[in-house]
Copies of this chain bind each other. A is one copy, B any other.
């Protein structure tokens, strides 16, 4: 195990009916900005539940945070905050709304140009306090302190984070997911799966607790996926899905072990350039990346094949190939396609992405050896 620091002060309120506890989690006399996305919370009853819980507070609203939330949009919320002395943020939505609201929390308190948080990695010294009500399990944003923001003008998806941006609380009520469309559920399963592999499919570091926890999440996602997709009101399936997603990215399985994150970094570019859903990009990049990095990840790929998929016979190379094939089949079984061409993207369209990687000279992965040239190989073999 490597040395690590772990800190996660988010209070989780989990289960049906927990939105009723909302008001008691927010300091009295707060002036609240409720943030949300495209308005699905108005059709599924969550909006009304939230607003009636907050009747004793002064409340402003900011809707319209888009999937892959944009800097330009979020800064409008900062204006509302400053004009109205808002001192508490409540994000109601999925990962995009939660990530966006964390950025708003940081930008509202930032001395200087908030743009620098994304472009220059400027240090976040404080943030407005925030709480969340999660409506789409996927990103884990409800129990971590980071996010990903898109700058619309330059087609960049950039990460940020700070221990000042942990939600004070997150309410996870599985029943609010009943109305989600199937493709969003499928993308959420892929997202949680790949969050886990990013912290697991690296190289051995003698960390059996972390490895087994990661395998626990992967096996659970595989096991529950059919019910999650096909039984909209299966409370237990949705509850276990929700908790798996939170566990996949709350810092615990990555504490003390090497981590990769190349699939995410490459995937972000596919979203920024082609508008592909985040989960879709991960399903495209991961299998191809695992094939390219097979030698570096050999021991963990064999362990993954054995402990997650039960693959115990054949040569090492066969077993690794089989593990990757099973991964692809799993994504496909969710209705998520794993090839760029399935989304109408051909090789010539990749040129600007390759140029950007070359210009940045990124070296990704747990060994920092996924160079721009290897990223080209990975993406071309995912066509």
Which residues on A are within 8 Å of B, measured CB to CB? 1-18, 206-209, 212-213, 215-217, 219-220, 223-224, 236, 239-240, 243-244, 247, 252, 255-256
Counting from the closest, the 7 A-B pairs by CB-CB distance are A3-B15, A212-B216, A9-B9, A7-B11, A6-B12, A206-B236, A1-B239
> Are A220 and B208 in contact, CB atoms less than 8 angstroms apart?
yes
Q: Are B206 and A217 in contact (CB under 8 A)?
A: no
Query: CA A216 – CA B240 in complex, angstroms?
Result: 18
* One of B1, B2, B9, B209 near A247 (C-beta < 8 A): B209
How many angstroms between the C-alpha atoms of A152 and B53 in the bound complex?
49
Known: A11-B7, A208-B220, A208-B223. A1 touches B236 (CB 8 A): yes
- With known contacts A3-B18, A212-B219, A220-B212, A240–B207 Cβ distance under 8 A: yes
What CA separation (Å) do A244 and B208 show in the bound complex? 9
A194 to B95, CA, bound (A): 37
Is the Cβ of B9 less than 8 Å from the Cβ of A14? no
Q: Which residue of B lies closest to A13 (CB)?
A: B5
Q: Which of B11, B12, B239, B256 contacts A243 (CB 8 A)?
A: B256
Q: Are B1 and A16 in contact (CB under 8 A)?
A: no
Contacting pair B1 A5 (CB below 8 A) = no
Closest to A11 in B: B7
Chain B residue numbers with a CB within 8 Å of A6 are 11-12, 14
Quick one: closest B residue to A247, CB to CB? B209
Q: With the chains together, A247 CA to B6 CA distance in Å?
A: 12
Interface centre among A2, A9, A17, by most chain B C-beta atoms within 10 angstroms, is: A9
**Nearest-neighbor residue (CB-CB) of A252 within chain B:** B252
A to B CB contacts below 8 Å, 26 in the list: A1-B14, A1-B236, A1-B239, A2-B15, A3-B17, A3-B18, A4-B12, A4-B15, A5-B12, A7-B9, A9-B9, A12-B255, A15-B256, A206-B239, A209-B240, A209-B243, A209-B244, A209-B247, A212-B212, A212-B215, A212-B216, A212-B220, A216-B216, A239-B256, A243-B256, A252-B252
Residues in chain B near residue A240, CB distance under 8 A: 1, 206-209
Q: Which residues of B contact A10 (CB under 8 A)?
A: 7
Assess the A5–B16 pair: CB atoms within 8 A. no
Instruction: Collect the chain B residues with CB atoms within 8 Å of residue A13's CB.
Output: 5
User: Nearest chain B CB to A218's CB is how many angstroms away?
Assistant: 10
CA distance A243 to B255 in the complex (A): 11
Give the complex CA separation of A215 and B219 in angstroms: 13
What is the CA–CA distance of A1 and B241 in the complex, to the nearest angstrom? 11
Closest B residue to A1 using CB positions: B239
Complex Cα distance, B216 from A208, in Å, reads 8
In the complex, which residue of chain B has the Cβ closest to the Cβ of A4? B14
Given contacts A1-B239, A212-B213, 12 further A-B contacts (CB under 8 A): A1-B14, A5-B12, A6-B11, A6-B12, A14-B255, A14-B256, A15-B256, A209-B216, A209-B217, A209-B244, A212-B212, A212-B220
Tell me the nearest residue of chain B to A240, going by C-beta.
B208
Complex Cα gap A14–B3 (Å): 6
Question: Whose C-beta in chain B lies nearest to the C-beta of A237?
Answer: B206
Closest B residue to A7 by CB, please name it: B11
> In the bound complex, how far is the Cα of B205 from the Cα of A243, in angstroms?
14
Residues of B within 8 A of A16 (CB): 3
Shortest A192–chain B CB gap in Å is 11
